[in-house]
């Protein structure tokens, strides 16, 4: 099964780079997943696609509402330090843990 990871952000500049790095890391690990990003305004569409939603730190205040509206999608906020450094290894690890893949 291919895990569908969606990153939720406000602008998308850093997130686009993070998506590419996460895809590269997943390929290196042999972890079957797709990584995409949606702006926060399109969270409803993202939830229809996602197994896991990771929110950029600037969208953290949206998490409680997302968890209520979309209880079947596992979601969390990416820690500020990981997002700022675009640490794809640790963010992919976070997605895997939230998904229950280990």
Determine the Cα–Cα distance for residues 2 and 13; give it in Å rounded to an integer.
25
CATH architecture of 3-99: 3-Layer(aba) Sandwich (3.40)
Interval 4-37: pLDDT, tens: 999 998 866 678 889 999 999 999 999 999 999 9
- Please compute, for residue 68, the number of CA atoms within 13 A of its CA located in the half-sphere on the CB side: 5
Token couple for 73: 């999608």
Give CA torsion, residues 50, 89, 84, 77, to 10 deg: 40
pLDDT attached to residue 87: 95
Residue 33 annotated in active site: no
Which helix (H) or strand (E) is 54 found in, with range? strand 52-55
The one catalytic residue in 6, 9, 18, 46 is: 9
Across 79-90, average pLDDT: 95
pTM of the model: 0.93
Extents of the domains making up the chain: 3-99
Position 64 pLDDT exceeds 90? yes
Across 61-75, average pLDDT: 96
């Amino acid at each position: 099964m291919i895990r569908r990871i969606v990153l939720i952000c406000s602008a998308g500049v850093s997130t686009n780079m993070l998506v590419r790095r996460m895809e590269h890391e997943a390929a290196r690990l042999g972890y079957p997943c797709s990584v995409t990003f949606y702006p926060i305004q399109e969270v409803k569409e993202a939830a229809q696609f996602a197994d896991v939603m990771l929110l950029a730190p600037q969208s953290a205040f949206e998490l409680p509402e997302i968890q209520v509206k979309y209880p079947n999608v596992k979601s969390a906020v990416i820690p500020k330090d990981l997002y700022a450094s675009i640490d794809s290894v640790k963010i992919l690890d976070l997605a895997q843990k939230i998904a229950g893949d280990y």
